[in-house]
Amino acid sequence: MSVTALEANRLWLALLTQQRRLGLAARQLLTKGGKLALNCVPDLSLEAMLRLSHAALMAQAAESWTAPLAGHRVHRYAFAGRGEGPPVLLLHGLGGQASSMAPLVPGLTGLARRVVLLELPGHGRSPEPLHGPLSAREYGAVAIACAEELQREHDSKVVLVGNSLGGALALYTAHERPELCAGVAGLNPAGAELSDEAVNGLPRAFSDANQGAAQMAALLFHRTPWPFWLVARDFARHWGTSTVQRILDDARTGNDRSLGMEVLTDIHVPVLIVWGKEDRLLPLRSVEDFARIEGARVEITEGCGHVPQLERPAAARRAVAGFLRSLKS
């Protein structure tokens, strides 16, 4: 075992010993607002968690590389599949990284020829864009370029699976380049129409990291997975960065606030929408817009928030794997 893997294992074991404390802190967060409860929880940086998740993915035989896509240096992980189904492209949400989609991988490698986890520019191990934070459409160009690459390599259409912003990018790709797409699975995807009230409710920067951590946990999860508490404060700090706020500022000013009904009703590939009913970041009425996609199947997950693959990973795996089985390669 490599030194990096040994260090990652030691760190992971140390984190596991905190699980009981984290569970208690989580209950206190719900009842006392979070500021005092988080004092007993380690404040792990997103960079440290990135190194840990990288080591974990590599230990599971992932490929890892950074190469140009749509004019940007973009990092990807990939797993060789054992199935005959189309390759799968996994797209994370705003401010996230590839590891947030990793819980889906075990359910897909037995069905697909290849599973790729893309990290958007300025996210995860992908460098910051040279000319500043990207717009949603610029991220869309990166997703399309990656789907084109997969299609060339495997002579097959691609299944795109995305959460939040990643779900919107998957739907955008299906509209712009339907010849690339075998299907789209969106897990609480962005892209539906949002009211001024909903947009203005999206958080800006947090002056207090503890308060920000508690607020983001409440927005993202129904029952917060304990590992999130480790990075919750740094995630709250990251939420105020220009990478995240560029997308939210565009939405606040009316630019790329949604994909638009003219786009959603002009998508003609198989679509699955999995929606955590307790999502407090995006409104439940979003599913009404997605249900207007021709032939779309909408599944509501009770007791789940904005990130189904982290909060209800087994249910999310079953839903996406079942969707993949339903497709013709």
Is the pTM of the predicted complex or chain greater than 0.85?
Answer: yes
Give the tokens for residue 291: 């249900």
**pLDDT-based confidence at residue 226 (cuts at 50, 70, 90):** confident
**pLDDT-based confidence at residue 25 (cuts at 50, 70, 90):** low
Give the tokens for residue 54: 């990288």
Cα torsion angle, 209, 214, 219, 221, sign: positive
> Would the pLDDT of 105 be above 50?
yes
Per-residue confidence (pLDDT) for residue 186, from 0 to 100: 98
Q: Of 36, 47, 1, which Cα lies nearest the Cα of 238?
A: 47
Q: What is the pLDDT of residues 188-206, one digit of tens each?
A: 999 999 999 999 889 999 9
* Higher per-residue pLDDT: 110 or 255: 110
In degrees rounded to 5, what are phi and psi of residue 189? -70, 150
> Would the pLDDT of 37 be above 70?
no
What's the whole-number mean pLDDT along residues 15-43? Answer: 56
> Would the pLDDT of 38 be above 60?
yes
Q: What is the pLDDT of residues 292-317, one digit of tens each?
A: 999 999 999 999 999 999 999 999 99
Q: In what order do the strands lie in the sheet with 158-163?
A: 63-69, 72-80, 114-119, 88-91, 158-163, 181-187, 271-276, 297-301
> Would the pLDDT of 266 be above 90?
yes
> Would the pLDDT of 137 be above 50?
yes
* Higher per-residue pLDDT: 268 or 37: 268
Q: What is the pLDDT of residues 169-193, one digit of tens each?
A: 999 999 999 999 999 999 999 999 9
> Would the pLDDT of 8 be above 90?
no
Q: What is the pLDDT of residues 40-89, one digit of tens each?
A: 788 899 999 999 999 999 999 999 999 999 999 999 999 999 999 999 99
What's the whole-number mean pLDDT along residues 8-27? Answer: 50
* Distance (Å, whole) CA 54 – CA 246: 27
* Higher per-residue pLDDT: 240 or 255: 240
Per-residue confidence (pLDDT) for residue 5, from 0 to 100: 52
> Would the pLDDT of 32 be above 50?
no
> Would the pLDDT of 36 be above 60?
no
**pLDDT-based confidence at residue 131 (cuts at 50, 70, 90):** very high
Per-residue confidence (pLDDT) for residue 40, from 0 to 100: 73
The structural domains of the chain, ordered by start, are 43-204+240-326 (3.40.50.1820)
> Would the pLDDT of 16 be above 70?
no
Q: What is the mean pLDDT of the chain?
A: 91
